[in-house]
Amino acid sequence: MTGGAGFIGSNFVHAVRREGRVPVVTFDLLTYAGNLANLDSLKNDPGHLLVHGDIRDRKAVRDLFATVQPTGLFHFAAESHVDRSIENPAEFIDTNVTGTFILLDEALRYVKGAGRDRPFRFLHVSTDEVYGSLGEDDPPFTEKTPYAPNSPYAASKAASDHLVRAYFHTYGLPVVTTNCSNNYGPWQFPEKLIPTVILSALEERPIPLYGDGRNIRDWIFAPDHCEGVRRVFERGRAGETYAIGAHNPRSNREVIARITHILDRLSPRKSGSYAELVASVPDRPGHDRRYEIDAAKIRSELGWRPSHSFEEALELTVRWYLENRPWWRSLRGRYDGTRQGVGRQEKGGRA
């Protein structure tokens, strides 16, 4: 597991270890989005090992393959915040492109090693942002949608997707790729849209809303995404891509309104509604208007469907942040509470 101390990565590690079927090694650099606290409950789990390391460090990756002898690699690690990619694109190219290349190259070396007879598969976790932006009447993204990234983050993920494909077609490395819609749920880094709204409200700060708030994202609960990733790893066809989405398109304005409504019920303000804290902020450059995924392929081929409705999972998420205040309070200083993410998928910190 690369990026296993990040948001989606930690959800995935917890899900696998709850079943107890296979041991997991988490390989993470523990940058701003990688948080040891995400894995606290696994400290005494003999089936989980945390290795502090960098996917850009070829020797460290090679040594880990040799020591662990894995049957699979789940590549969640990525720089994933669009605003940060606009400010510092080099970091995204370095991690998402070069880091992925090193993992692929060392995986290939491992697979072709003398005397190796264990099965192996490389699963690459990507994003729907590689497909660009949809117009109001455009059909949802599918696995056949042409790539058209609009931010340095999206471009770096698109490049990594192409490298994964190339290593399958050129070298025969057994790979599968998933492109997922926007995630939300426990352990999400506070710069992202949903935790930004929850924490701003609870701290009585302005709740930022980009532009007119009508940008639409297709939302999926992180545990549902993780189950989809596992299904692709176990049953997906080598060399194929599977789009994972829950068909929950919502505008940012709708999401914020729903969160403030839930908070008004679960943790009321002393006076008024949390909706009164919503404040418009200038839109960011290259802000894609709409994303939506058609997940028909993973449904028909692999039988996967999300287990949670948007309304149910959003309330579970709000409750988690209400019940885990020490977790997010400990992250102060790692993020700018005034900068709103737009709910981008976070696949772990750089690792």
Nearest to 284 by CA among 128, 79, 81: 81
Predicted pLDDT at 222: 98
Query: Do 279 and 201 contact (CB within 8 A), yes or no?
Result: no
In the annotation, is 153 catalytic?
Answer: yes
Cβ-Cβ contacts under 8 Å for 53 (sequence gap 6 or more) = 27, 28, 29, 60, 61, 64, 351
Rounded distance between C-alpha atoms, residue 2 and residue 74, angstroms: 6
Rounded distance between C-alpha atoms, residue 209 and residue 224, angstroms: 27
Tokens of 290: 């709409």
Domain ranges of the chain: 7-188+221-249+288-308
In the annotation, is 234 catalytic?
Answer: no
Rounded distance between C-alpha atoms, residue 282 and residue 280, angstroms: 7
DSSP labels, 237-296:
PTT-EEEE----EEEHHHHHHHHHHHHHHHS--SSS-GGGGEEEEPPPTT---B--B--H
For the stretch 245-284, pLDDT in tens is 999 999 999 999 999 999 999 999 999 999 999 999 887 6
In the annotation, is 129 catalytic?
Answer: yes
Rounded distance between C-alpha atoms, residue 72 and residue 237, angstroms: 15
Q: Which of 54, 106, 129, 161 is an active site residue?
A: 129
Q: Which of 153, 167, 291, 335 is an active site residue?
A: 153
CB-count burial class (<10 Å; 0-12, 13-18, 19+) for 220 = buried
Rounded distance between C-alpha atoms, residue 174 and residue 163, angstroms: 13
Query: What is the mean pLDDT, run by run of 10 residues, along the chain of 351 residues?
Result: 96 96 95 86 96 97 96 92 81 95 97 82 97 92 96 95 98 97 94 94 94 92 98 98 96 97 97 96 76 96 97 98 94 56 37 39
Query: What is the reported pTM?
Result: 0.91
Q: Which of 128, 224, 227, 346 is an active site residue?
A: 128
Query: Do 107 and 173 contact (CB within 8 A), yes or no?
Result: yes
Residue positions counted in the chain = 351
> Would you give the distance in Å from CA 4 to the centre of its chain?
11
- Neighbour-count burial for 90-116, b at 16+ CB within 10 Å, e otherwise: ebbbebbbbbbbbbbbbbbebbeeeee
CATH 3.10.50.40 holds for 7-188+221-249+288-308: no
Q: Angle between the 252-266 and 310-323 helix axes, to the nearest 10 degrees?
A: 50
Rounded distance between C-alpha atoms, residue 245 and residue 308, angstroms: 12
Q: Angle between the 100-111 and 58-68 helix axes, to the nearest 10 degrees?
A: 40
Tokens of 269: 């303000």
